[in-house]
């Protein structure tokens, strides 16, 4: 038989235990609530997920160079390298890798030879003052010995050195870039061994215009650009103009964000049209073939292109501290000649592997 005193003691002990559990639960809930409030305040203050998507800070354009994962780049410099294997070297409508056009059929021997191209580049981000950068571009043509037999087996056809300054006027969606390019042709001699030009490239984010018209458009649609180059040497007095459009179709934005392989693919169709002002005559390889017309301003060509890019960085989940971008792209282009006395229709394609940090 249990005594009354013992029963009262056990009852008090049970009451205290239940009270302690309830207090502990209340304190735990209060702590979780406090943490949640604090996190929300910090997230809101730092531009977190409480902000609309179009109002988030573009981390690629901040002074701290902070990636999406929160990793801070130690220096405001981007390094890049890419390699391209392409069927033909078409430059502004001119085929620079066609022996039959430049040296005659006797040197062609019925063959078409591929080209290899590589770019090394670096760009320094200056914050609100824009950016400066430079690059070196190489072109190796496997059929070069047929163009310049006296050089034996040497295939290096061209080296281009570029320096530029760019500034993004985000308020109107305009990016302005001005630069200088020095072209070197190692297999040529005399005045034909190189030329120089200055250029400007204007790129416009057309989504800004749509928003000004009251449309809810967050991303650019046509990405228009205007490129203008003035030659200082071989084609002195001549200039080249190009206007183009393109649009990216990322499959991840088309309901395939969870589909293996397809989620990392982007297709980009493009179109451009160029205008020649006393430039093609002086730069065309046909300058001694009798096909050259007098100086004139004329439409040069139109180019349709399709690029398919696979994002290897995303597919392999490579951390930002090791890689800014890693892509492999396949492309095909068709150039429709409008200056028929100087250009031919051209179809070419290739593959590019690119890396940046």
Instruction: Express each pLDDT in 111-132 by its tens digit.
Output: 578 999 999 999 999 999 999 9
The average pLDDT across 280-292 equals 59
* Mean pLDDT over the full length of the chain: 81
pLDDT of residue 263: 96
- Mean pLDDT, to the nearest integer, of 66-89? 89
Question: Residue 199 above 80 pLDDT?
Answer: yes
Q: Distance between CA atoms of 38 and 56, rounded to whole angstroms? A: 20
Q: Which residues have C-beta within 8 Å of that of residue 201, sequence separation ≥ 6?
A: 176, 177, 178, 179, 225, 226, 227, 228
Q: Which residue has the higher pLDDT, 125 or 283?
A: 125
CB 234 within 8 A of CB 191: yes
Distance (Å, rounded) from C-alpha 297 to C-alpha 338?
12
The span from the CA of 206 to the CA of 213, in Å, is 11
Q: Are 275 and 302 in contact (CB under 8 A)?
A: no
3-state helix, strand, coil in the chain (%, to 5): 25, 40, 35
Average pLDDT over residues 223-252: 96
Model confidence band, residue 281 (pLDDT cutoffs 50, 70, 90): confident
Does pLDDT of 65 surpass 70?
A: no
For residues 355 and 80, the answer to whether their CB atoms sit within 8 Å is yes
Structural domain boundaries of the chain?
4-51, 57-356
Is the overall model pTM greater than 0.85, yes or no?
no
Q: Is the pLDDT of residue 320 over 80?
A: yes
Q: How confident is the model at residue 188 (pLDDT cuts 50, 70, 90)?
A: confident
The CATH number of the domain covering residues in 57-356: 2.40.160.40
Residue 40's pLDDT band (cuts 50, 70, 90): very low
């Amino acid at each position: 038989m249990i005594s009354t005193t013992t029963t009262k003691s056990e009852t008090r002990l049970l009451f205290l235990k239940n009270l302690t559990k309830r207090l502990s639960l209340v304190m735990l809930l209060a702590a979780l609530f406090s943490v949640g409030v604090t996190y929300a305040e910090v997230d809101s203050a730092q531009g977190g997920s409480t902000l609309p998507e179009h109002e988030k800070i573009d981390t690629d354009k901040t002074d701290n160079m902070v990636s999406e994962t929160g990793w801070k780049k130690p220096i405001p410099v981007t390094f890049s390298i890419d390699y391209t294997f392409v069927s033909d070297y078409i430059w502004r409508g001119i085929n620079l890798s066609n022996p039959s056009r430049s040296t005659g059929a006797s040197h062609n021997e019925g063959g078409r030879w591929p080209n290899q191209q590589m770019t090394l580049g670096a760009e320094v981000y200056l914050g609100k003052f824009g950016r400066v950068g430079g690059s070196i571009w190489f072109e190796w043509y496997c059929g070069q010995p047929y163009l310049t037999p006296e050089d034996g087996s040497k295939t290096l056809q061209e080296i281009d050195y570029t320096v530029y300054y760019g500034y993004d006027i985000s308020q109107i969606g305009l990016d302005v870039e001005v630069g200088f390019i020095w072209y070197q042709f190692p297999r040529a001699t005399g005045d034909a061994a190189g030329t120089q030009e200055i250029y400007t490239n204007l790129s416009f984010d057309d989504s800004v215009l749509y928003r000004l018209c009251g449309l809810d458009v967050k991303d650019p649609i046509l990405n228009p650009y205007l490129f203008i180059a003035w030659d200082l040497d071989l084609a002195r007095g001549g200039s080249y103009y190009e206007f183009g459009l393109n649009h990216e179709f990322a499959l991840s934005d088309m309901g395939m964000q969870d589909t293996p392989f397809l989620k990392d693919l982007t297709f980009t169709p493009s179109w451009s049209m160029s205008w020649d002002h006393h430039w093609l005559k002086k730069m065309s390889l046909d300058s001694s073939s009798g096909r050259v017309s007098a100086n004139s301003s004329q439409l040069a060509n139109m180019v349709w292109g399709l690029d398919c890019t696979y994002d290897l960085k995303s597919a392999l989940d490579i951390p930002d501290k090791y890689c800014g971008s890693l892509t492999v792209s396949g492309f095909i282009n068709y150039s429709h000649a409008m200056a028929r006395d100087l250009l031919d229709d051209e179809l070419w394609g290739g593959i590019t592997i690119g890396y940046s940090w």
